[in-house]
Amino acid sequence: MAVAGGSAVGGVARYGLTLWAQPRDVAFPFGTLTVNVVGCLLIGAIAQYTLTTGRLSPEARVLLLSGFCGGFTTFSTFSFESVELIQAGAWSRALLYVFVSVAVGIGAVWAGGAAVRAVIGAPS
């Protein structure tokens, strides 16, 4: 329930911040960029606070990290995991994770769109 509640609030916060940060007459995705940067800042701060002080209960960590931050932006989780790999000295795994996530993610979006276009007969 903590993850579900946090995700719901995070998703609403993402939508609101995206609308606020995205100029209507600009084609660059400033709204998404803003959400991703803010989400990364939040997950970094919350994780460090938890590790340093131990003051957040496991339930609160799940609510905030997996729930809110996950609902707000999965990019924050991706970035946090990348930093964890780097801090562990696993540079090659970190670079592989970043490269594969971005390249395969872009490819999957393209493939999903191509599949739907093929099924419904829409031009590419």
pLDDT, tens only, 60-91? 999 999 999 999 988 888 999 999 999 999 99
Q: What is the DSSP letter of 24?
A: T
Note the pLDDT of residue 109: 87
**pTM score, whole prediction:** 0.78
- The count of C-alpha atoms lying within 13 angstroms of the C-alpha of 79, restricted to the half-sphere facing its C-beta, is 18
CA distance 27 to 48: 35
CA distance 3 to 91: 30
CA distance 10 to 29: 19
Average pLDDT over every residue of 41-61: 91
Average pLDDT over every residue of 94-112: 92
Burial degree of 99 (CB within 10 A; 0-12, 13-18, 19+): exposed
- Cβ-Cβ contacts under 8 Å for 53 (sequence gap 6 or more): none
Average pLDDT over every residue of 95-108: 93
Q: Any idea where the domains of the chain sit in the sequence?
A: 2-88, 90-124
Q: What is the mean pLDDT of the chain?
A: 92
- Which of 14-23, 87-96, 114-123 bottoms out in mean pLDDT, i.e. has the lowest? 114-123
- 8: confidence class by pLDDT, cuts 50, 70, 90: very high
For residues 107 and 47, the answer to whether their CB atoms sit within 8 Å is no
